[in-house]
Amino acid sequence: MRRSSSSSIHQTVIESASNHPSRRSVEVFVAVADALWPRAEASGASIPSASELGAAERFAELYERLPSDEARRDLQLVLKLLDTRAGALALHGTARRLSEMDDEQRAQAFERMARSRLMPTRQAFKALKLLTGIIAATSGPGSPVWSAMGYPGPDGPAPSVPKPITPTVISKPTEWTADVVIIGSGAGGGVAAGVLAQAGLDVVVVEAGGYFNESDFTHEEAQATRDLFLDGALSATADAGVGLLAGSALGGGTLINYTTSFATPDRIREEWDDVAGFDEVFTGDDYTAASQAVHARLGINRDHNALPGREMLLEKGLSNLGWHVDRMPRNVVGCPDNGCGFCTMGCRRGARKCTTTTYLQDAYDAGARIVVNADARRVITSNGQATGVECVVAGQPLTVRARAVVVAAGALNTPAVLLRSGLGGPAVGHFLRLHPVTALWGVYDHPVDPWSGTMQAIYSDEFEDVDGKGHGFKFETAPVHPLFPSVFLGWSSAAQYQHDVLELQSLQPVGILLRDRNPGRVTVRKNGTPVWHYRVSKADQANMRVGLQRASQLLAASGAREIMSSSQPPVRLSATTDTPSLMATLDRVGYGPNETVYVSFHQMGSARMGSNPRMSVVGPSNELHDTKGVYVMDGSCFPTASGVNPMTTIQTIAHRGAQMLANSLTA
């Protein structure tokens, strides 16, 4: 494969960075947003419209955060169509430009879009509602929206804490040499860096995101999603059917996840050896030893599980039904009061044992060089052997020549790195799993304050095997800040949507985390950016339907007054409604893309381990089948979905693989 020059890489970055919405697009979006979130009265208070909440300025910011030029073009097209008679007719059946409609006509037009049976129309509406909801829900301290929710906002100002790691600044074209260069610093890359550097190897870590610590955590969702999440938390599958949440900062997902730290279940370890064609790779003693080492370094325990109000309700429902319930293992040590509820926006207390404060700190203390805001474009090779990595940092090319390359950019981006590099063989990008999640919401007659307390204290595995083949779901819940209901709850009218979102204080979600059976795929566009193709299959939809049915029973048993779905259009019924009636209503809405709202917190399997080069990308030592010296050490390696929150499994795979690599390089 012909290698692009550093100057051409630089030009690509320059060209892709110059994306701004047109003035007319902004004007049309503001009109849309005001129709979806108009000025209203709630609990005797005036709720500002989207435009009064700064929709024009926020839209420009969100537009630039969209994950691709394609996504920006699609959004521009929708706004343009709404501003033409022919386009309006196609989208909502009314041959009137948005500017020609009064408020009532606009509301009716969007009601028709929201209920459309045409997937592209639902997709377009969902994008507009998502952006509007984000603007309304993240309007900031002092906002009348937050006051109406009863939401107190951040738990005070961020503390002043020095940064113990000093990333290397790249201000001119640079070339380094090292023993190992690692792409990514999350659960996989961070652990690999610590193990390799402490073995005495010269290690360079390149991370696409920035470096943030306690001093940077405002505990406002607008800042957290912008700085700490991939694409500002706006990533989604190609048809927008599943939102994709992943970390993008030094420490990756470990910086903002729910701290849930399950070891790889024995049944999954056995399945993986069988699927991969391995003899005691996942079931072997070295995997067990790596898991034990990770647990020790992260201090994983069940001592920080005091139940906040929302988890008391979950436990009440599970106990009343006689269903399984247990305490979560968590990588949290010394957290005062067992949690503040802001873990997904960064831990101010230094209690979370993320890779930034553990393995990356170990690596830095051992002499590793760390570079942030680094776009790793491709792995460079010679005669079938890795020779390094080409990056762009702040517009400057950085080339790291190395004896080995570890790709740990996560299951969403590791395949893109390999595909841009022409490496990995025919299985690269295949077998993507997402653990699709939806939620059913309980509405209670008393305040729940769902944003407060322990991140995830309990879970239930009552239905971990629905189909008799190991595919089922977990019940989990988590602190809910304003952004969650604005994204998950459906829209059938402005009054309904505002009422439901503003009811935050009395809401309790039950998350249904599905172990998916059927995979998707990662490809790349011409410019090398990834596209994530995935739909929840009919078989997985059937399992999710069981999850929603059981979740409705759980919420009723916990004392909920009403139940709300995460679907478009939304379903809201009395908790005393018989289950067949509820399910018949949900069946009419559907469980497909942009019908039921799905989000993925866990991405896996897109460069999986195995013995067959046609069906897998890396072998038992995590080295590519087709290229010496290139290793994958992240969630991409999973042969199938883990069925549990994957952080500790990723770290175990990386620890084992890095130890093997260290042994080979220091022999």
Query: Tens digit of pLDDT for each residue in 161-181?
Result: 999 999 999 999 999 999 999
Tallying the residues shown for the chain, one arrives at 667
Residue that is written with structure tokens 């970390």 in the block: 247
Between CA 435 and CA 257 the distance in angstroms is: 15
Between CA 645 and CA 319 the distance in angstroms is: 23
What's the Cα-to-Cα distance from 651 to each of 203, 284, 308, 415, 513, rounded to whole Å? 18, 16, 29, 19, 21
What mean pLDDT, rounded, does the chain reach? 94
Contact status, residue 527 vs residue 17, Cβ threshold 8 Å: no
Model confidence at 2: pLDDT above 80:
no
Between CA 498 and CA 311 the distance in angstroms is: 25
Six-digit token string for 488: 């998950």
Strand, coil or helix: 541: helix
Peptide bond into 530 cis (omega under 30): no
- Please state, as a whole number, how many other Cβ atoms lie within 10 Å of the Cβ of residue 495: 12
Between CA 295 and CA 628 the distance in angstroms is: 31
Model confidence at 119: pLDDT above 80:
yes
- pLDDT tens digits for 220-277? 999 999 999 999 999 999 999 999 999 999 999 999 999 999 999 999 999 999 999 9
Tell me, what's the pLDDT at 19?
Answer: 75
Residue 4 pLDDT level (bands cut at 50, 70, 90): very low
Please, is 472 exposed, middle or buried when counting C-beta atoms within 10 Å of its C-beta (0-12, 13-18, 19+)? buried
Residue that is written with structure tokens 């559907």 in the block: 590
Contact status, residue 425 vs residue 606, Cβ threshold 8 Å: no
* 446 or 336, greater pLDDT: 446
- Model-level pTM? 0.95
Domains of the chain: 1-137 (no CATH), 174-211+249-300+353-432+604-666 (3.50.50.60), 234-241+305-329+434-602 (3.30.410)
